Amino acid sequence: MTPNNRANFGSKLGAILAAAGSAVGLGNIWRFPYETGEHGGAAFILVYIGCVLLFGVPIMIAEFSIGRRSRANTARAYQILAPSTPWRWVGRMGVLTGFLILGYYVVVSGWTLEFIMEAATNSFAGKSADEFIASFSQFTANPWRPIVWAVVFMLATHFIVVKGVEKGIEKSAKIMMPMLFILLLVLAGCAVALPNAGAGLEFLLKPDFSKVNGSVLLGAMGQAFFSLSIGMGCLCTYASYFKDDTNLPKTAFSVAVIDTSVAVLAGIIIFPAAFSVGIQPDMGPSLLFVTLPNVFQQAFGSLPWLAVILSVMFYILLALAALTSTISLHEVATAYLHEEFNLTRNKAAWIVTIGCTILGVFCSLSLGIGKEYTIAGLTLFDLFDFVTAKIMLPLGGFFIAIFTGWYLDKRIVWEEFSNRGTLKVGLYRLLIFLLKFIAPIGIAFIFINELGWL
């Protein structure tokens, strides 16, 4: 426990892994490939990497600094660092964003449990690509099954969050992250060996810049914020549990490298496989779930037992990657309710669990019986995704950059970046420049360009 009696991550590696555990999740393996597919491939990836470097890493370091300096939940953090100012609304908006993301994220997390079952019962065997597509849309449109899985997933998240920071979050991240990475490497090797895989690799690696428009920029920026878990105070909350000697710039950079590698690896699995079996890369959120079973089938068709083992392992690891992210989303709102409203952690966690489960039920139904009810042409599921990833997170990031770059006393920023002068931070000036100018102007430009407002 730290002097003010809050919990702590036990080790430096634990801090990196917990933050990476939050960042690496469905955003990398499910969302990144379909956003890349919808936005034309390689050029999107380059814009994405640009967003990670110019906005992502500096804003992550800023969030870490705010969290560790204040040692409080994200809303209180602003109250401590900027008392009696409207800055606390940035923290509150973050809590709301996390709540909404968890509402639909848990639905997709639930799908991974269905796929563990399907893989374990060998039900991928003998299906064609079209059959995978049909059975997936039948499953997501079912009014019960996906909801039951989402509830199971929400409860698992709940109990880990209630168990506390070190035991729950750190331990699960330490074991599953390296395993997931190794399995992804194996699958990438299998995918590129499929017939016609070259076309998929070309799609992924050969940029066509004529395709870059406002929607590509907004998509890449939103994906960077979503994937890195920044813009809503999630990593700010985690950093409030960091130790005083955790190296913030190094941790942020490591998380960004791990996160981006996993996303690109997922692309190297999905696109060769999609092109190999004739699945359209721009088919949207179902891409991962209809493409991957083909990889297991085609690559290991002659060794069905191996196909079963590897596919079960993959979906378990995918579920665990999602779990370390749902835990972090849940923790933001739980820490807020617990510390701001004097509720026990248990009570605070139940409020979040029940609230997000209700949102999840509506999001899941919006893919089936509620399909007709749309807002601005989007189902509730798509609307939550659009509003949170493409608007609320970048907006949160915009304010975090301004807060750290302009408002916060530079002495505080320097002390946090350099652990009170004990670390050499060679890029300090560059980071401040990015936070002061490049991130806010870049985010505003992309908003104005695509959404026509601000």
Please give the residue ranges that form the binding site for ligand PFF (CB under 6 A): 22-23, 25-28, 98, 101, 226-227, 229, 232, 234, 325, 328-329
Take residue 425 and report the two structure tokens written for it.
């931070």
- The SS3 call for residue 378 is strand
Ramachandran sector of residue 14 (left: φ over 0; alpha: ψ -120 to 50; beta: rest): alpha
Taking the least distance from each CB to ligand PFF, the nearer of 70 and 326 is 326
Taking the least distance from each CB to ligand PFF, the nearer of 59 and 307 is 59
The end-to-end CA distance of the chain, in Å, is 44
Minimum CB separation from ligand PFF for residue 251, in Å? Answer: 15
Spatial neighbors of 287 by CB under 8 A, at least 6 apart, are 30, 33, 34, 37, 270, 274, 279, 281
**Cβ neighbourhood burial of 305 (10 Å; 0-12, 13-18, 19+):** exposed
Taking the least distance from each CB to ligand PFF, the nearer of 176 and 277 is 176
φ and ψ of 182, to 5 deg: -65, -45
Taking the least distance from each CB to ligand PFF, the nearer of 310 and 327 is 327
Measure the CA–CA gap between 398 and 444, rounded to whole angstroms: 8
Minimum CB separation from ligand PFF for residue 340, in Å? Answer: 18
- Residue, CB closest to ligand PFF: 27
Measure the CA–CA gap between 224 and 260, rounded to whole angstroms: 9
Minimum CB separation from ligand PFF for residue 207, in Å? Answer: 23
Take residue 398 and report the two structure tokens written for it.
């915009």
Measure the CA–CA gap between 276 and 249, rounded to whole angstroms: 41
Taking the least distance from each CB to ligand PFF, the nearer of 60 and 408 is 60
Minimum CB separation from ligand PFF for residue 24, in Å? Answer: 6
Q: Choose among 261, 267, 258, 263: nearest CA to 205.
A: 267
Minimum CB separation from ligand PFF for residue 21, in Å? Answer: 9
Minimum CB separation from ligand PFF for residue 35, in Å? Answer: 11
Minimum CB separation from ligand PFF for residue 293, in Å? Answer: 21
Taking the least distance from each CB to ligand PFF, the nearer of 96 and 141 is 96
Taking the least distance from each CB to ligand PFF, the nearer of 298 and 328 is 328
